[in-house]
Structure 1
């Protein structure tokens, strides 16, 4: 059986993918990015639900969202040239700290 924590990580990475896909789909007006976004979202939700069989819902959801938020923020800087500031970096580090704390709790 696959580790529920591995499933959460994969689900979080898929969340990053579908969040970025929303940008590329341009309001679901582009068929291929739109389809990939929906598929990524469904896969992410599915893996999250499977992981929740073994991980408490509050922990699983928060870790999933945290991975998606950090991944999306970092990818947006790289792909879309969003600004980098000390406050943005601090926020990302706080989210990572929260993910680690929930994993260790």
Structure 2
């Protein structure tokens, strides 16, 4: 596994753990549940910090918070009876699409994305023909 893939795994895992510790902040009522919440906080932020060593901080933070925020809202609706709202779910979907867009627009993928778009649009062949015609 490459450093970048491992970093993204840490971001996702940290975001998922964030969902649990944020929920724990609201529903903890014993020393053990408060301790688990504290462990979750330490783990999720440690994962995010480690990921920032290999990825752009702005993208890591946006993805981390996006996973956490959407996960907490869904968790509250599914597990704790928060009223379902089409608007909330639509906004979560928009948030997740935005986070995915940020991930794909990070500098690590710029060159790869440009090459794929260029290939898909046939610009590589067009460039080759222009170069051939100029000779």
Q: Same fold (TM over 0.5)?
A: yes
Per-residue CA distance 1:36-89 (angstroms, 9 max, x = gap): 000000000000000000111110001000001111111111111001111111
- The answer to whether the aligner puts 1:18 opposite 2:21 as a matched pair is yes
Q: Using CA pairs below 8 Å that are at least 6 residues apart, which structure has the higher relative contact order? A: 1
Distance 2:82 2:27 in 1: 15
Q: Which runs of 5+ in 1 are unaligned?
A: none
Name the counterpart of 1:76.
76
Name the counterpart of 1:43.
43
Partner secondary structure for residue 83 of structure 1: coil
**TM-score by structure 1 length?**
0.92
Distance 2:65 2:72 in 1: 10
Name the counterpart of 2:116.
none
2:8 to 5, 19, 25: 5
Aligned length: 102
Distance 2:42 2:18 in 1: 9
Partner secondary structure for residue 3 of structure 1: helix
- The answer to whether the aligner puts 1:62 opposite 2:62 as a matched pair is yes
Highest Rg: 1 or 2? 2
Partner secondary structure for residue 16 of structure 2: helix
**TM-score by structure 2 length?**
0.72
